[in-house]
Amino acid sequence: MNLDIQLKIMNNPRYRQYLHENSMWYKILNRNPLMFRAFEEKVKEDYRLRASDRITKALSTIEMVQNIFTSLK
């Protein structure tokens, strides 16, 4: 694995955790370092770190608060 990829992984605890849980990515990144972008996207997808995931979470929180207020009335 390239040194720069190793540094990126070691500096990001989510990447380390994901590699620990999905060790197949060690082999993929060792054989093709250009797959690092796909690795990053997969981490974001699985840990729900994308912007759309954050928006969805915020909207569901707002909806829950609205439901609480309507039930209190």
pLDDT at 56 over 90: no
pLDDT at 1 over 90: no
Instruction: Assess whether pLDDT exceeds 90 at residue 46.
Output: yes
Question: Which residue pairs from 4-8 have beta carbons closer than 8 angstroms and sit at least 24 positions apart in sequence?
Answer: 5/29, 5/33, 5/36, 8/36
Least confident of 9-18, 20-29, 43-52: 43-52
**pLDDT, averaged across the chain:** 93
Range from 26-30, 47-51, 57-61 that averages highest in pLDDT: 26-30
Q: What is the mean pLDDT of residues 44-49?
A: 91
